[in-house]
Amino acid sequence: MKFIYLCIMFALVPFLVSCGQDEFNSDNSIPIVPTVEGNLKDAPFDFGMAVNINTLKTNATYRQTIIDNTTRVTGENAMKMNTISLGQGRYDFSDGDYLVDFAQQNGLKVHGHTLLWYKHTPDWLKNYQGDSAAFVGIMKQYIYDVVGHYKGKVASWDVINEVINDKGEVYTTDGTKENIWMKKIGINYIALAFQFAHEADPDALLFYNEYGHEYSAQRRMGVNNLVKDLKAKGVPIDGVGLQMHTNTLRATSDIRNAIVMIAASTKVKVHVSELDVSVNSDSKIKDSDVTDSLKTVVFNNQQIWYREVSKAMNDLPVDQRYGITFWGVCDTNTSVATKPDWPLVFDANYQRKPAYQGLLQGFKVKY
């Protein structure tokens, strides 16, 4: 009996091996990757989620999904300037503090997003009258007070968000992107902001955060040049955030290249900071088309994109893997996709989608 069993096993070996990592789909491009068990918490880098504070307070399943699957959280809006800053020297830290308490209770790290972003400038500041020195003073006080408030509690900050234009330059004037700091202080505000954040908390890791690396060589070069320029000037910058609000029309090779190239050229830490993968970015799927079988097809396809992001992160040198943050928790919390769409890793019922398996494969399977 044992002999027969062994014969069957040996006869199966070539078949089993052919199901392994060298096997490719019929179009010869997408590798067939074995299914693996696991949790994102076990990854060799952090997985995080952007958190909406109201949902965190009111939805126990949302809360538990974060606790059960991540090692880091980011406030979706809780730590933006227009949330925190009520006026010069006046603050509302309640949402940020709630997030930090939640993180501490559950052993999660906190990534702060974002100190300065033209889009979330509070009205009082837009209307403020003052010269360049006055604005440097306001900026310094704001960064000192906020980073100081969270010293030792927020491990890393996006210091500056989105200052590269589509030509790959740091824009100084742009009609659609009124940036009060750029206008009043000039381009040097970027270096100053990093300097002030470092002075306020020398242990916090400091990031520049930007979108578009995966689809625009100009934007990628712009970030690359900015980071290198800051480093050359001795500015304390530790990493770069690639927002990666992406979709299944993008070539996965472009996504991989964006991650590995910026790591290779800048040598700083790389954070995929706002990941979501839209499956209907061209709006071809109408509400009336949506069926369970269609969702199965698009979810399985979406898995490939999530897997490639995870694999690219895993392929970086260990000290450059800052990890991957999803911009939301489940498909109903997304704020960036048009509907119908299912861009995140958990479905509307907080169940793991194939994307989750893809992420596990990205760091667990060699293919």
Q: Which is closer to ligand XIL, CB of 113 or CB of 353? A: 113
Q: How distant is the alpha carbon of residue 212 from its chain centre? A: 12
d(CA 326, CA 299): 16
CB of 336 to ligand XIL, least distance (A): 6
Q: What is the DSSP string of 85-142?
A: EEETTEE--HHHHHHHHHHHHTT-EEEEEEEEEGGG--HHHHT----HHHHHHHHHHH
Q: Which is closer to ligand XIL, CB of 18 or CB of 335? A: 335
Q: Which is closer to ligand XIL, CB of 50 or CB of 100? A: 50
Strand ranges for the chain from DSSP E: 47-51, 72-75, 85-87, 90-91, 109-117, 156-161, 205-210, 239-242, 245-247, 269-278, 321-326
Q: Which is closer to ligand XIL, CB of 7 or CB of 336? A: 336
Active site residue 199: no
Q: Which of 50, 79, 75 is nearest to 146 (CA)?
A: 79
CB of 102 to ligand XIL, least distance (A): 18
Cα separations (Å) of 270 from 46, 157, 244, 274, 317?
Answer: 12, 13, 12, 12, 10
Active site residue 274: yes
Sign of the CA dihedral running 231, 236, 238, 243: negative
Could you tell me if residue 151 is left (phi over 0), alpha (psi between -120 and 50 degrees) or otherwise beta? beta
Strand ranges for 37-88 from DSSP E: 47-51, 72-75, 85-87
CB of 123 to ligand XIL, least distance (A): 16
Q: Which of 212, 272, 218, 264 is nearest to 240 (CA)?
A: 272
**Start-to-end C-alpha separation, the chain:** 36
CB of 246 to ligand XIL, least distance (A): 12
Q: Which residues of the shown chain bind ligand XIL in the complex (CB under 6 A)?
A: 76-77, 161, 243, 274, 335-336
Q: Which is closer to ligand XIL, CB of 62 or CB of 363? A: 62
Q: Which is closer to ligand XIL, CB of 77 or CB of 216? A: 77
Report which residue type is found at 238: D
CB of 174 to ligand XIL, least distance (A): 16
Nearest residue by C-beta to ligand XIL?
335
CB of 220 to ligand XIL, least distance (A): 17
Active-site hit among 162, 210, 214, 308: 162
Q: Which of 59, 72, 167, 157 is nearest to 117 (CA)?
A: 157
Active-site hit among 76, 210, 214, 274: 274
Q: Which residues are catalytic?
A: 162, 274
